[in-house]
Amino acid sequence: MPYPYVLLSAAVSLDGYLDDTGPERLLLSGPADFDRVDDVRASVDAILVGAGTIRADNPRLLVNSPERRAARTAAGRPEYPLKVTVSATGDLNPGAQFWHTGGQKVVYTTPEGADRLRAAGIAADADVVALGASLDWRAVLEDLHDVRGVRRLMVEGGGTVHTQLLQQGLADEVQLALAPLFVGDPDAPRLFGPGAYQSGRLRLVETRQVGDVVLMRYEPTAPGTGAVASAADRHWLSLACDLARQCPPSSSAFSVGAVVVAADGAELARGHSRESDDPVVHAEEAALAKIDPADPRLPGATVYSSLEPCTHRASRPRPCARLILDAGVRRVVTAWREPDTFVTGADGVGALSAKGVDVVVLPEYEEAATAPNRHLLT
């Protein structure tokens, strides 16, 4: 179930607020940053805000630059990104600018919310999609991806929506514009609320001065839990696929990359096939060999491997699935099920699952995982 790339974007005061409590929207960033946001909007397929932001700010959520809109249409894309909102209650003003500017719109809601929105006439301006009594973000992202072709989604708040997406491990990137002012009102909306965040220690990928605000771009690092993949899972699996490209070429074995990541998002080790002049070492084996077997982080760790771990090996006493079990690791994320090239009926996924390991296969990375192995697959 592939999701769009989810980019959270917000401007925030030095004391962590998104707005004050006055009737007018508080302007946190300046013209240079609004132009930067316009550029990000022009790059995405859809922009999402929560119903609270529509009620509080009455935003239009447009690409304002005619040049950027022209570039979109020249590239065969709609002039404006799809506008998306979520509302459980359906309590939205049919006169809001959201419905009457820009291109297509969709609102995800509950059955009761859908009745209310239809009664208000909003179905004339937007697709009203009822997703069930409790609105599930994964269902929203799946619908955006599969039904509406959204590959890149920008989320522009508010705090309730940002908090849920980060806490559920669904954000791929966070872009914060830190504004040099204080709000100081405890009743003002905060950017991030209380709760358990499935994001780990975020990785800082960029800082940039934009006028008098500082743009900070972060990526989550913490693996997902159980059978559910997080944005960080995609990052680490993509890294494993990159590592597979570093393997010395071989006509008799696959090129595979692997990374072992702790629950808090810390990388414990990485490896690739045939590394360090060992002609038979496997990626998972090479990575695990770099970790102290007594490391207390292993039971909470995730092994990312571009190819599913092996279950039969002539060159070593223990195959990689066994090494993973013996290391106490309980979660594996992989991109590619082993074809019958060297052994028939390889089933590392089945062997690990049978021992209670959570195994997640992300087929959207299969192409990257197979790329360095094309010569073996004819």
Ligand X SMILES: NC(=O)c1ccc[n+]([C@@H]2O[C@H](COP(=O)([O-])OP(=O)(O)OC[C@H]3O[C@@H](n4cnc5c(N)ncnc54)[C@H](OP(=O)(O)O)[C@@H]3O)[C@@H](O)[C@H]2O)c1
- Reported as type and span, the H/E element at residue 142 is helix 137-146
Give me the numbers of helices (H) and strands (E) for the chain, helices first please: 12, 14
**282 contributes a contact to Zn ion by CB under 5 A:** yes
Binding string to Zn ion for residues 224 to 263, with x set by CB under 5 A, is what? ----------------------------------------
Residue 274 contacts by C-beta under 8 Å, 6 or more apart in sequence? 247, 248, 250, 253, 255, 280, 281
**53 contributes a contact to ligand X by CB under 6 A:** yes
For Zn ion, give the closer residue by CB, 113 or 257.
257
**327 contributes a contact to Zn ion by CB under 5 A:** no
> Among residues 56, 120, 269, 376, which is the contact residue for ligand X, using CB under 6 A?
56
**28 contributes a contact to ligand X by CB under 6 A:** yes
User: Could you tell me if 219 and 202 are in contact, meaning their C-beta atoms sit under 8 angstroms apart?
Assistant: yes
Size of the residue set binding ligand X (CB under 6 A): 27
For ligand X, give the closer residue by CB, 25 or 313.
25
d(CA 356, CA 361) in angstroms, rounded, equals 15
Q: In the range 91-120, which residues lie near ligand X by CB under 6 A?
A: 91
For ligand X, give the closer residue by CB, 159 or 265.
159
**57 contributes a contact to ligand X by CB under 6 A:** yes
DSSP 189-242: PBSS-SS--TT-SPEEEEEEEETTEEEEEEE------TT---HHHHHHHHHHHH
Query: Among candidates 154, 147, 194, which has minimal Cα distance to 45?
Result: 154
**19 contributes a contact to ligand X by CB under 6 A:** yes
> Among residues 3, 8, 45, 50, which is the contact residue for ligand X, using CB under 6 A?
50
Count Cβ neighbours within 10 Å for each residue of 224-262 and write b for 16 or more, e otherwise.
Answer: bbeeebbbbbbbbbbbbbbbbebbeebeebbbbbbbbbb
CB of 272 to Zn ion, least distance (A): 12
**183 contributes a contact to ligand X by CB under 6 A:** no
d(CA 167, CA 197) in angstroms, rounded, equals 4
The option from ligand X, Zn ion, none interacting with 282 (CB < 5 to 8 A, set by class) reads Zn ion
**310 contributes a contact to Zn ion by CB under 5 A:** yes
Question: Would you tell me which residues interact with ligand X (CB under 6 A)?
Answer: 10-11, 18-19, 25, 28, 49-53, 56-57, 86-89, 91, 135, 156-161, 164, 189
